[in-house]
């Protein structure tokens, strides 16, 4: 009897253990029930994501408090209530049904099982198999074959070439909605395989080909103490996967709703996920940003540069920061008489139009490419042990960027004369030096003569437009266009002077900026603006049409912006309602892109120094145009900071280091942008902001709200019917990162644009803003003063308030 009692207790114990991680025909799970993997790593059950009211079946981490979900069954078919039941039927099909027994989701195995069970493994894999079968090859279905947004250790990302099964990741729509989102990460098997991130039918990111150590775009993916990774390519399958060295470590790779590939590791000490690695580092990771035969160099300005031996296909587009048409060869090819130029330290091009062979060496690879007139480049496949394999490219070479360290050399086909130029260059160097010395002497003499002649000829005409290739408007034309500078035609007035609306005969509407004799700014500022803006072309910068320099008149003629300036809308109680959140968000993005162009992508590195709401003009479609370059400064390629004793700018937008010490840099512009973004979100002026419970300015108030988890309270009341919460919160946090006190803590404009346009990327926590001070609420009498000057032995400070 004792033995029978022992057996009874034993088998009951086994059934309890079995039920912990298993669904059987007799043991389905209802909403509220869960199963847990044998080691307690993962849990499966019903859940509600974020603020959603829908119910889903998913798998999440059991061991951590956040309950991070890694897989969802019915991601596109949610349950509307808690009546769902997950069961396995006698045929071995896992089925999710609702209260009316309608199937919401099911697995798709055609194999019939005798005693089917569904078991959750400690790997996070949900498998269906015979009850007593543990071999992986006898799973009839597994969740690892159908990833969601998360790649776990042991999962494959690629394709079974025999069955056609596609292992790919797809993003969630949002943190509240696990339905398939905009982005898909998938292995492309045209040519030599590579991973793509797709947004609809457009590629946004390419991993580049595997080079034996890592994907070409990820040289920083190095052997480490946490996990191993590898790439498998054979006749049956092609895939990438990674495995853990330490089974107790929790790690995951996520395709975010914004299309980023982020690798996270759980840190027990902080009880949070640590972003270990991200695939997309900067703007140069945007697929084919620079077009064919060009490379992207993130620290250059502009970032796109033609490969040696190539030149821009359409120079005007190139100068306007549109690099999509790329570059073309300077010298036409001649097939088997061509040569090859070696490029190092780069991400090799897109391999959709490529051919590969693992057994051919690099020398034979080069011969094969030369013999085929359609072959445009070659490289080895595997960089280990001196290199092996052959990879040939056909067609245009795209998606190249500078990337070091990268051991995979690329040999690009060029005309033989281009290769010979390199040899001839050394021979001609001595001749060039001698010629340069002689030419310098001659040119110096000619320049002195020309300068003397110009000064004599101009007779006091201080500013000219000839060198800037700008049209010169005569005074009569401008006067007629503005109805003889009628006061009725004045559309604005700043430190420079009045701005008039005009209409050229048989031409466009114009805005005429006329230097006033009483101007706080003057001839130097006008000349500065002429020199700068004539060389800049970008859709988010105002376009200078020409100038008028006749007699005592000094005028700039711009394209007319029919919607006035940004401050005309956002600070006016009635007009601000006409700008929806979508309008404001697009304006914020446009301003940011324009500033990125000034700092990084234009031929010159420009510090604006007076970015504010009144200097943002709006065109017919409410697209923003940065204007007023009178105070802007040009930086050299290696210059990072400037200093002045004459600080000129607008109170409320100036960075601490500029206002106090006269130091300016790209980071002082970033500070101004941060203030402007907060004004766009809130509809409130930083300088004139007041609050009943404290005396901080708008920056301080926003920082307090963010730290209290109340950032949405900053939002303009009139946006409540149009706002997108995630965008508003992201805009506020990015703004506060821009206005941090220390310049080195503030992001670059490349990071700002990247953060604003990628909803899934995690943002740092901002530190205390600059000018985070308590003001005396009783001492506000001089707040309306338009201009005030502070002078000491070191610094003359002139602050111009926006009008």
Active centre residues (catalytic)? 610
Assigned token pair, 489 = 């035609």
| CB contact at 8 A, 287 and 324 | no
Residues in the chain: 803
Structural contact between residues 548 and 555, judged by C-beta atoms closer than 8 angstroms: yes
Query: Rounded to whole angstroms, what are the CA distances from 436 to 429, 430, 431, 447, 598?
Result: 10, 10, 8, 16, 33
CA dihedral defined by 750, 751, 756, 760, rounded to 10 degrees? 130
> Which H, E and C letters describe 97-113, residue by residue?
ECCCCCEEEECCCCCCC
Q: What tokens appear for 414 in the block?
A: 């060029």
Q: How far is residue 257 from each of residues 46, 170, 584, measured CA to CA in Å?
A: 22, 9, 22
222 to 72, 101, 274: CA distances (angstroms): 31, 51, 18
Identify which of 755, 782, 764, 744 has the alpha carbon closest to the alpha carbon of residue 677. 755
Element (DSSP H or E) covering residue 754: helix 749-757
Instruction: Provide the token pair at 91.
Output: 């045929």
Q: H helices within 467-600, ranges in order?
A: 475-481, 523-533, 566-570, 581-596
**Angstrom distance (rounded) from CA 655 to CA 621:** 31
Look at the alpha carbons of 636, 641, 646, 651 in this order and tell me if their dihedral is positive or negative. positive
Report the DSSP beta bridge partners of residue 34: 45
Three-point CA angle 703, 705, 710, nearest 5°: 145
**Is it true that the peptide bond before 405 is cis, omega within 30 degrees of 0?**
yes
Residue with tokens 């200097």: 615
Q: Classify residue 452 as exposed, middle or buried by CB count within 10 Å of its CB (0-12, 13-18, 19+).
A: exposed
The residues that bridge with 500 in the sheet, in sequence order, are 490, 512
Nearest to 737 by CA among 725, 751, 724: 751
């Amino acid at each position: 009897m004792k033995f029978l009692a022992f057996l009874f207790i034993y088998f009951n114990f086994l059934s309890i253990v079995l039920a912990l991680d298993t669904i059987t025909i007799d043991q389905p799970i209802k909403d509220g029930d869960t199963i847990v993997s044998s080691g307690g790593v993962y849990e499966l059950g019903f859940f509600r994501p974020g603020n959603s009211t829908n119910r889903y079946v998913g798998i999440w981490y059991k061991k951590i408090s956040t309950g991070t979900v890694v897989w969802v069954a019915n991601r596109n078919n949610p349950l509307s209530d808690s009546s769902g039941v997950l069961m396995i039927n006698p045929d071995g099909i896992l089925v999710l049904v609702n209260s009316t027994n309608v199937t919401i989701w099911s697995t798709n195995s055609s194999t019939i099982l005798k005693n089917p069970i569904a078991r959750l493994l400690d790997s996070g894999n949900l498998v269906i198999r015979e009850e007593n079968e543990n071999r992986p090859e006898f799973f009839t279905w597994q969740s690892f074959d159908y990833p969601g947004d998360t790649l776990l250790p042991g999962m494959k990302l690629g394709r079974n070439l025999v069955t056609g099964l596609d292992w790919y990741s797809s993003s969630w729509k949002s943190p509240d909605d696990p339905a398939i989102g905009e982005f898909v990460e998938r292995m492309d098997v045209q040519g030599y395989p590579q991973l793509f991130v797709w947004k609809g039918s457009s590629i946004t990111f390419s991993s580049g080909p595997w080079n034996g150590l890592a994907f070409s775009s990820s040289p920083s993916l190095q052997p480490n103490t946490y996990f191993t990774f590898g790439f498998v390519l054979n006749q049956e399958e092609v895939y990438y996967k990674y495995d853990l060295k330490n089974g107790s470590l929790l790690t995951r790779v996520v395709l975010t709703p914004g299309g980023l590939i982020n690798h996270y590791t759980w840190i027990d000490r902080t009880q949070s996920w640590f972003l270990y690695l991200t695939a997309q580092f900067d703007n140069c990771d945007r697929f084919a940003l620079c077009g064919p035969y060009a490379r992207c160099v993130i620290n250059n300005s502009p970032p796109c540069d033609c490969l040696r031996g190539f030149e821009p296909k359409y120079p005007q587009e190139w100068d306007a920061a549109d690099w999509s048409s790329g570059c073309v060869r300077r010298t036409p090819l001649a097939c088997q008489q061509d040569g090859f130029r070696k490029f190092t330290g780069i991400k090799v091009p897109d391999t959709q139009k490529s051919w590969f062979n693992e057994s051919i060496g690099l020398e034979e690879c080069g011969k094969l490419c030369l013999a085929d007139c359609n072959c445009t480049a070659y490289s080895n496949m595997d960089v280990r042990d001196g290199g092996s394999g052959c990879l040939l490219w056909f067609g245009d070479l795209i998606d190249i960027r500078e990337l070091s360290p990268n051991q995979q050399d690329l040999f690009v086909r060029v005309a033989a004369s281009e290769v010979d130029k390199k040899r001839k260059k050394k021979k001609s160097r001595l001749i060039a030096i001698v010629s340069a010395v002689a030419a310098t002497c001659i040119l110096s003499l000619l320049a002195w003569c020309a300068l003397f002649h110009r000064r004599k000829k101009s007779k006091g005409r201080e500013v000219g437009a000839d060198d800037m290739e700008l049209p010169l408007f005569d005074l009569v034309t401008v006067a007629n266009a503005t109805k003889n500078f009628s006061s009725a035609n004045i559309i604005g007035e700043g430190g420079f002077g009045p701005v008039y609306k005009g209409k050229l005969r048989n031409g466009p509407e114009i805005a005429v900026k006329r230097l006033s004799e009483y101007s706080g700014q003057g001839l130097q500022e006008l000349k500065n603006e002429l020199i700068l803006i004539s060389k800049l072309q970008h859709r988010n910068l105002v376009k200078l049409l020409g100038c008028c320099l006749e007699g005592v008149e000094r005028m700039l003629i711009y394209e007319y912006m029919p919607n006035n300036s940004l401050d005309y809308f956002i600070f006016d109680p009635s007009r601000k309602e006409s700008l929806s959140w979508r309008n404001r968000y697009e304006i914020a993005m446009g301003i940011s892109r324009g500033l990125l162009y000034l700092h990084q992508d234009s031929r010159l590195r420009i510090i604006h120094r007076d970015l504010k709401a009144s200097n943002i003009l709006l065109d017919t479609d409410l697209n923003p145009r940065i204007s007023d370059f009178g105070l802007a400064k040009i930086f050299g390629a290696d210059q990072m900071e400037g200093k002045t004793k004459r600080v000129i700018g607008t109170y409320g937008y100036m960075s601490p280091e500029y206002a106090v010490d006269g130091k300016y840099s790209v980071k002082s512009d970033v500070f101004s942008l941060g203030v402007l973004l907060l004004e766009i979100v809130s509809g409130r002026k930083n300088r004139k902001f007041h609050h009943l419970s404290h005396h901080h300015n708008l920056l301080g108030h926003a920082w307090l709200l963010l730290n209290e988890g109340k950032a949405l309270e900053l939002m303009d009341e009139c946006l409540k019917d149009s706002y997108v919460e995630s965008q508003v919160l992201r805009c506020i946090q990015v703004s506060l990162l821009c206005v941090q006190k220390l310049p080195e803590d503030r992001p670059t404009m490349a990071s700002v644009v990247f953060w604003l346009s990628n909803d899934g990327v995690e943002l740092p926590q901002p530190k205390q803003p600059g000018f985070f001070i308590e003001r005396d609420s009783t001492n506000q009498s001089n707040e309306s003063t338009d201009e005030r000057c502070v002078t000491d032995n070191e610094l003359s400070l002139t602050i111009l308030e926006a009008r």
